[in-house]
Amino acid sequence: MQHTPYQLTRYSHGAGCGCKISPAILSEILNHSQLDTANVDTALLVGNADRDDAAVYDLGDGSAVISTTDFFMPIVDDPVDFGRIAAVNALSDVYAMGGNPLVAIAILGWPVNELPAEAAGLVLRGAQLACSDAGIPLAGGHSIDSPEPIFGLAVTGRVRLEHLKRNGGARAGDVLYLTKPLGVGILTTAQKKGQLDPAHFDQARDTMIRLNRLGAVLGKEGYVHAMTDVTGFGLAGHLVELCHASGICARVHFDTLPVIAPAALMDYHQQGCVPGGTQRNFASYGHHLVVDEGYQRDLVCDPQTSGGLLIAVDPESTAAFEALCRTVGETPARIGLAEPCDGDKILVCVD
């Protein structure tokens, strides 16, 4: 665990993707915005109405541009770690669409009278590390003087149309996989309370700085029917979105969920280390869930920052899928199944 004099989390009221506006309020905002992207341009394949990970624009040559942006307030104290995590999180949207990133632009808000310029430079250094890992340039950006530190990227990517993956397209019978462990929200809340063991911090940081580049590999595979990344709305929220977009329901086997430091995570939860975003998430989509109260509910609703890919795979191709993942050093957890729906209210059951 790195020690830093800056303590960035002291300057933020939220942490990482946990500071996202809740799904319910976001829906209200979009409903009042009267944004209508459906009829703007027929080349716009994925827009605001789709609630997917990124916008997608058809270039007319068999490929499409992927465009996305993501930014948030510090989830860790170290500026380099903060910049790297925020950058990896933004890049994830492109990978979740089955594409490869091409270039990134930085978005920086900095309390210039509270934190030194050096710390902001270290945030950018962290972002450069992530972009270098992804093989793309961090080509510029925009900055403002803001009350809280804010950082993220606007990312442009590209994908062949036949490789484009959506959060819709899952079919009843598909096997559901998750590529990163859960628990980031609980652990970073424990950090803010001064209760986090340094070893558990390192585990959380290491998962957050790992690129979801697997998505670009899976984009080429027809047996991957749907894909999205798991961030601020938690596993349950993003699975609800996938189910809604696909017209299916899902059953998640709680004991199969990958978790960072499982025994410790339960202890932190019992100590009250639950992010405010967890309650906002459940209030927004809890009517679509069947889940036990307490730890089970709080884990599946735990807001993730730079979380893993949630993937729906044809049941006849799971062996091929798992073998392909191993070739690139990934071992996704099999967490449940897509099922036909009896109604439109309950979309996800956790047993």
Residue 16's nearest CA partner among 172, 209, 147, 167 is 209
Active-site residue, from 17, 243, 273, 325: 17
Question: 153 forms bridges with which residues in the sheet?
Answer: 70, 106
CA 54 to chain centre: 12
What backbone phi and psi angles, to 5 degrees, belong to 273? -85, 75
Position 42, amino acid: T
Rounded CA separation 5/3 (Å)? 7
**Residue 17 falls in the annotated catalytic set:** yes
Tokens at 343, concatenated: 């109604």
Question: 63 forms bridges with which residues in the sheet?
Answer: 160
Tokens at 213, concatenated: 């580049």
Residue 81's nearest CA partner among 117, 118, 114, 122 is 122
Residue 178's nearest CA partner among 304, 285, 317, 311 is 311
Q: Assess contact for 338 and 248: CB atoms under 8 A.
A: yes
Rounded CA separation 120/349 (Å)? 43
Q: For 42-52, give one letter per residue: b (16+ CB within 10 A) or e.
A: eebbbbeebbb
Q: Where are the alpha helices (DSSP H) in the chain?
A: 23-33, 79-96, 117-134, 184-192, 198-208, 214-218, 234-246, 262-270, 276-285, 295-300, 318-327
Residues with a catalytic annotation lie at 17
